[in-house]
Amino acid sequence: MNQNYLKQKKILLVDDEQELLDMVVSILKEDGYTHIATAKTAAEGAKSAQKNPPDLAVLDVMLPDGSGFELLKRLKETRDYPVLFLSARGEDEDRLQGLGLGADDYITKPFSPSELVARVKAHLARYERLIGSNTPENDTIEIRGIRIDKTARRVWVNGEEKQFTTKEFDLLTFLAQNPNHVFTKEELFRKIWDMDSVGDIATVTVHIKKIREKIEFNTAKPQYIETIWGVGYRFKV
């Protein structure tokens, strides 16, 4: 499973210890996770989850305005996703109560950073496999850090999602589906715009420029879409 794809998942952290929140956020960001929301109370956690549903939640058992167990019940009412508990209490009774309510894991404080990251990865991957077994897999193209989801019409570059217009997406996808094949501007214009080359083929140049701005590290020295002078363009692999 593509790890960059998993690192685009949204994670919710709920704990009343600011120092611990900061540490966990830092650990996850160092490992490449960027979509992380935090809350210090059960009420804040519930509000955050309602506004921006996470793909995984990490909850403290003891919160100022209630228990993590009660918050878990509220979260599971609207959407199902992995939930991990953090607790300074390692009693079997607490662990069994959390797992019995639908939690997926229970981590006792203090914990090692590597253990937390490993468990987050494992549960995200397990859940993706679970839901993936019940739904058709999206048609995707993956080339050197670029992931194009043709089904959802979404693009990620080194794990970061980029926004493309309809024609930009169609043009990028067509080139990526035909790596190392050189196409003239006229061919691309006919294929993507479904018009005869008597139209304004300069629009191809404009769209190539916009695509490069989104996928290339250095547009002056493109690593993906290469200009073949006097001929056209190709997606280089």
CATH topology of domain 3-132: Rossmann fold (3.40.50)
Of 88-97, 169-178, 220-229, the poorest mean pLDDT is in: 88-97
Which residue ranges make up each domain of the chain? 3-132, 140-235
Work out the average pLDDT over 147-176: 92
Polymer length in residues for the chain: 237
| pLDDT surpasses 60 at 134 | no
What is the CB-side half-sphere exposure of residue 85 using CA atoms within 13 A?
A: 29
| pLDDT surpasses 80 at 205 | yes
State the DSSP H helix or E strand holding residue 205, giving kind and residue range, or none if neither. Answer: helix 202-215
Q: What percent of the chain has pLDDT over 90?
A: 45
Work out the average pLDDT over 102-114: 83
Q: What confidence category does residue 236 fall into, taking pLDDT thresholds of 50, 70 and 90?
A: very high
Q: Is 136 helix (H, G, I), strand (E, B) or coil?
A: coil
What local confidence, expressed as pLDDT, does residue 197 receive?
43
Nearest of 190, 176, 168 to residue 139 by alpha carbon: 176
Query: Widest CA span of the chain, in angstroms?
Result: 76
CATH topology of domain 140-235: Arc Repressor Mutant, subunit A (1.10.10)
Would you say the pTM of this structure is higher than 0.85?
Answer: no
| pLDDT surpasses 80 at 143 | yes
Side-by-side strand order, sheet with 36-39: 36-39, 11-14, 56-60, 83-87, 105-108
What local confidence, expressed as pLDDT, does residue 38 receive?
96
| pLDDT surpasses 60 at 8 | yes
What local confidence, expressed as pLDDT, does residue 11 receive?
95
| pLDDT surpasses 70 at 229 | yes
What local confidence, expressed as pLDDT, does residue 123 receive?
87
Q: What percent of the chain has pLDDT over 70?
A: 90
Q: Are 137 and 116 in contact (CB under 8 A)?
A: no
Q: What confidence category does residue 198 fall into, taking pLDDT thresholds of 50, 70 and 90?
A: very low
